[in-house]
Amino acid sequence: MNCPKCKAAMEIVVFEDIEVDRCTACKGLWFDSRENERLKSKRGSEVIDSGDPKTGRRNNTIPYVRCPRDGNPLIRMVDPAQPHLWYETCSTCGGAYFDAGEFRDYKNLTVLDFIKDLFAKPRA
């Protein structure tokens, strides 16, 4: 499989029992059907996101990216809780693409949001 952004080969990396494809050049990550959500909940899983966030930010601006599995256009997703974080998903196979550094961000902010939620709760 080739990277949907820079077209370099992707290699399989495994964290616990979850397989993810990582680009050998830009280190973008491809997750098959909702594996990003499964992996997000695993402690330490951000180690798979080993790329340079600078490269990720540059690649983040590439429009009209196609799914590396089925060639359908990927849809850009913006999480309302993390509006600076854009990632791409395929509505056909359910896969998701994260640029280098974005998966760490995706995980970290969840922890921050969780802490914010704790403080936001009204005290009884």
Kindly list the residues in this chain that would bind Zn ion in the complex (CB under 5 A).
Answer: 3, 5-6, 8, 23, 25-26, 28, 67, 69-70, 90, 92-93, 95
**What 3-state class would DSSP assign to 78?**
strand
Judged by CB, which is closer to Zn ion: 12, or 115?
12
Beta carbon nearer to Zn ion, 10 or 39: 10
- Give 73 or 112: the residue with its C-beta nearer to Zn ion: 73
Nearest distance from C-beta of residue 67 to Zn ion, angstroms? 3
Helix, strand or coil, per DSSP, at residue 36: helix
Nearer to Zn ion, 26 or 48 (CB): 26
Pair of tokens at residue 114: 């969780």
| Closest alpha carbon to 49 in 100, 108, 9, 12 | 100
Q: Report the alpha-carbon distance of residue 49 to residue 29 in Å, rounded.
A: 7
Q: Are 42 and 15 in contact (CB under 8 A)?
A: yes
Taking the complex as a whole, the smallest distance from the CB of residue 101 to Zn ion amounts, in Å, to 13
Give the shortest CB-97-to-Zn ion separation in angstroms. 9
